[in-house]
Structures are given as structure tokens and as C-alpha cells.
Amino acid sequence: MSQKSDGMNYAPQGKPSPVVKPGEFTFAAAFLEHGHIFGQCNGLLEAGAELKWVYDPDPKKVADFIAKYPQAKAARSFDEILADPAVKLVAAAAVPCDRGAIGGRVLEAGKDYFTDKAPFTTLEQLATAKAVVARTRRKYAVYYSERLHVESAMFATDLVAGGAIGRVIQVLGLGPHRIGNKAARPAWFFQRAKYGGILCDIGSHQFEQFLTFSGATDATVTHAAVGNYGNPETPELEDFGEASLLGNNGSTNYVRVDWFTPAGLSTWGDGRTVILGTKGYIELRKYVDVGREKTSDHVYIVDEKGEQHLNVTGQVGFRFFGQLILDCLNGTEKAMTQEHTFKAAELCLRAQLAAKRIA
């Protein structure tokens, strides 16, 4: 299970659940800098999309990709993909600082864009993307995988929206990640300007979850800090980050992200989400029930009636991808609104900007 030991190459697979017929929705994959591209493609393919092209400047990345997805044809240039009118959407996982500019090219070419998180590393990139979206009316979608591609988190999305725990007071998210073999990581991973900082990078998942679970549509950053506690040889790597937010509906958010998953953990990170409501709380043990079960998607619910433990693996699926395809075809926003997508991006950028360096 090497996939499970390494978050960067963790590409969940679900049950095929096509929302379109063969040929109705064609996409391309480009810029394969982060292993999330495989999760993005799996999700779209399971929802019925057809993968036509792949592009990356590095022939080895392209060859590895085609080994997994033989239906993909290697494009000679990114422009070759942009010039193909059959392509409706481009999925990409570029170096984070380049994601905004690439998205601009995709949207200007009349296609929708589906980028790995974090979608931007600066507020200027976000402002530019907002302008391009307004002008082109295309979609700038983001793979916030720690909710969208996690069954327990999608399960909690519905539970909370249904009022299971009353009014949400706080969303607390712990996002530890394994750094693994640092020599196998790309250079940009250790360059602050390229990956954007830890709250921007792996923090982005957390702020998206806060908005979703709390129902807040905006928030202020009340505290943020980052540090390098254990990686002096890569000084620009922030291996610890934390932030507190106050939502515009009075809900709060605390987030801790780090690169300190110990070698002994059976998966890449003991990701947790605790959602506290006025009538109960929910804890998600997303990737492992530590010390108990080496399976994912454990949901603990405590309410007025009692304590429940559910394992929802295989019970929920990943509806985001099919909804995204239909949104692209129909001009709807059922998978995620553009406003929500951009607000989550803004919050991770603002948290990063507010962060004090404490170690």
C-alpha cells in the first residue's frame, strides 16, 4: 500500500458512477508536478469523462502517466491541448505558484479548469483569476481533496447540513502529513515562493472544510503561525502551521497542519476533523483509526441520543466529480460555487500572510 504511505501520491479510487455517456465530456491532464493529478483523473474518469490528452514538459512524467492511463495521448505542447475544441476541461497539478497563470490560459481558451489545491500562492493571482472568470464565464475549479475525495468528509457534509449537531460552533482540523523521503520530492516543494507556505499549501484543504461545515461565507484570520521545527537543512520548508479563524456567522475554526507524521503510522497522516455543534459533535478519523483499525473513513457522532461509530468506506462515493462534469456542461454550480472555491483560496492566502514565523 505505498499509495497509502504517501499523501502526495494518494489517489483515491471509487466506484464508477458515470453521469455522462462515452464521448460526452472530454478532458485533458497537464502539468503533473503533484501526484494529486491521479486522484483528479480517477474522479473524472469514474464519473464518465474521457481522457484524451496528457502534457508535461518532462517526458518521464508523461510516460508514467500513460502507463496508468493508456487512453491518453501525449500532446507536443500545452497549446495543442488548448487548441483542441473537443477538450472541455483541463485538469492540472502544476507547481503551485504557476497554477493561476495556467488556469488563465485554460479559461481564455474557452475551457474549464480543474487544478490541484492550493490554487494560488498570492492574492494577486487570485484577483487575476477572478477577472478571467468574470470575463470568460468559465470555471476555475479546485481539487480540495481532503473533503471532496474522502468519503467520511462527504458523509459529514450531509450530516451537518441536515442539522445533526445543531448550529456549528467550531470546526477543528488536524492535517498532519508525512514528508517521507525528502530526496524524492521535487525542488519546488522546499521553495517557499513556489509552494506558497504550509498554510497556503496543505492548509487550503482545512479552510475549505471550515466554510463547508460551518456555513460561513467569509472569515477573518484571528491568529496564524508557521515554523520549521525539524527540517533545518531545508530552511524554506514550513513544517508546522496553525491558524484560527472567525466566520462571518460567529463560527470558529482552528487548523493545525504539519509534516511530522511519524514513520510508524500506518498511513500518510492521521487527519482529523472535529465539528462541534450546539447539539452534538462529529469526529472524522479520515485515513486511519489510529491504534485501532488501519482502515479509513471512521466517523464518530455524539448527540443527545448517544455515541455512534460508523465506518463509511464504500458507502458514500465521490459525487463531486460527476457534479463538476454536469456543472461544466450545464452552467450550474452544484459541485461547488465559484465564490466558495475562491473564498477558501483567499482564506489560505490570508492566513499565510498573517502568519508569524515562530520557529
Q: Which residues bind a copy of itself (CB under 8 A)?
A: 166-167, 169-170, 172, 174, 176, 222-223, 225, 227, 229-230, 240, 242, 244, 246, 250, 252, 254, 256, 258, 260, 262-266, 270, 274, 276-281, 283, 288, 290-292, 300-309, 356, 358-359
**77 or 308: CB nearest a copy of itself:** 308
Burial state string for 206-217 with b = 16 or more CB within 10 A and e = fewer than 16: bbbbbbbbbebe
Q: For residues 159 and 303, what is the distance between their CA atoms, to the nearest angstrom? A: 12
Q: How far is the CB of 243 from a copy of itself (least distance, A)?
A: 9
Q: For residues 57 and 284, what is the distance between their CA atoms, to the nearest angstrom? A: 39
Amino acid residing at 31: F
**81 or 174: CB nearest a copy of itself:** 174
Q: How far is the CB of 24 from a copy of itself (least distance, A)?
A: 43
Q: How far is the CB of 263 from a copy of itself (least distance, A)?
A: 5
Q: How far is the CB of 303 from a copy of itself (least distance, A)?
A: 5
How far is the CA of 9 from the CAs of 2, 82, 185, 294, in angstroms? Answer: 9, 26, 11, 18
- Distance from the first to the final alpha carbon of the chain: 34
Q: For residues 350 and 141, what is the distance between their CA atoms, to the nearest angstrom? A: 20
Q: For residues 59 and 42, what is the distance between their CA atoms, to the nearest angstrom? A: 21
**119 or 203: CB nearest a copy of itself:** 203
CA torsion, points 271, 266, 40, 113, in degrees to nearest 10?
40
Q: How far is the CB of 296 from a copy of itself (least distance, A)?
A: 14
Report whether 257 contacts 176 (CB < 8 A). Answer: yes
**138 or 298: CB nearest a copy of itself:** 298
**180 or 227: CB nearest a copy of itself:** 227
Q: How far is the CB of 52 from a copy of itself (least distance, A)?
A: 43
**85 or 291: CB nearest a copy of itself:** 291
**166 or 180: CB nearest a copy of itself:** 166
Q: For residues 310 and 126, what is the distance between their CA atoms, to the nearest angstrom? A: 38
Q: How far is the CB of 165 from a copy of itself (least distance, A)?
A: 8
> What backbone phi and psi angles, to 5 degrees, belong to 225?
-150, 150
Looking at residue 182, the DSSP 8-state letter turns out to be G
> What backbone phi and psi angles, to 5 degrees, belong to 137?
60, 20
